[in-house]
Amino acid sequence: MSNSTSQRAIGAMAPIDWQVALGLFALHLAAAAALLKFSWFAVGLCLALLWLTSSLGISLGFHRMLAHGSFRPRRWLKLALVTIGCLALQGRPFYWVGVHRLHHADPDGQLDPHTPQHGLWWSHAGWMVRRDTGGERRERVIFDLRRDRSLVWLNRYVPLLQLLSFAAVWAIGEVARATGAATSGLSCLLWGVGVRTVIAYHSTWLVNSAAHRWGYVNYQTRDDARNLWWVAVVSYGEGWHNNHHAHAYSARIGHRWFEIDVSWLALRVFAAFRLVQSINVPRRALPPVDGASTETRGGTLGG
């Protein structure tokens, strides 16, 4: 048996995390039930929360800021971005960052928690429902985050924050109905939590699966990461994945003029108001596709 086959077999034999599996099932069920409780107000709330939690919370907060340190925000903004990311229901920030750092430590290799080398479904969602992804290795790569007491507190009380957000979404719907809107607390809950979360899940997972299988490359890297435009559209710029693997510490993931990076645009707005500084970007212009590239912090924007 090859090492790859053996690794896949070990992953497939790991105990199922029934709490995660049932949670994912319940959210997909809620997303389906939302069709029976349709309201335009709830759809609008869903889209607003999708951008807030996926682009600001996950893409900027968990990914570019915590996992890679690609920019340095003011203290209050840092905690706000992490808090918003916690509401995305993609796990605790330490878990999310730990898994992502393991992915970059051995991209598409034996120690990558969600490499498509073990199957496209595994890289998309199969790895999510198995216990202890990364185990002790994951804990070792997040030692820097545990030095921040505020982050430790947020990481500990993620479930409470999420429950409070559910109550807030329901309350928004009830207040809107009381003021004459054709909606309800249940409609907003099903759309603002169920539909929004399921869309965000699959958008994020597509970066792990589709963007490691299809698309084009700007840089030579040691993995199969690709730039896939439609994944970039649904993930607020994260789908320019070959760019990211070539310059993991860059706050800007879309490098060519047509590679729209919505999260980068939001970061530039923060920078315009002097809320962030030391924004890492690639040091030099885009090289030919057959040129060597390295994971470097590059230059910086801001003070």
Write down the domain spans for the chain.
17-127+134-301
Name which of 219, 213, 249, 17 is nearest 117 in CA terms. 213
Model confidence at 165: pLDDT above 80: yes
- Residue 226 pLDDT class (50, 70, 90 cuts): very high
Q: Is the pTM of this model over 0.85?
A: yes
Assigned token pair, 239: 């789908």
Assigned token pair, 184: 């309800």
Q: Where are the beta strands (DSSP E) in 77-168?
A: none
Least confident range from 99-103, 157-161, 213-217, 287-291: namely 287-291
Which DSSP symbol is given to 281? E
Model confidence at 1: pLDDT above 70: no
Q: What gap in Å lies between CA 130 and CA 111, rounded to an integer?
A: 15
Model confidence at 191: pLDDT above 80: yes
How many CA atoms does the CB half-sphere of 40 hold within 13 Å?
2
Assigned token pair, 29: 């069920």
Assigned token pair, 5: 């086959």
State the burial class of residue 228 (Cβ atoms within 10 Å of its Cβ: 0-12, 13-18, 19+).
Answer: buried
How many CA atoms does the CB half-sphere of 185 hold within 13 Å?
10
Query: How far apart are the two ends of the chain, measured CA to CA in Å?
Result: 54
Model confidence at 286: pLDDT above 90: no
Please answer whether residues 238 and 232 qualify as being in contact, where contact means their C-beta atoms are separated by less than 8 angstroms: yes
- Residue 72 β-bridge partners: 277
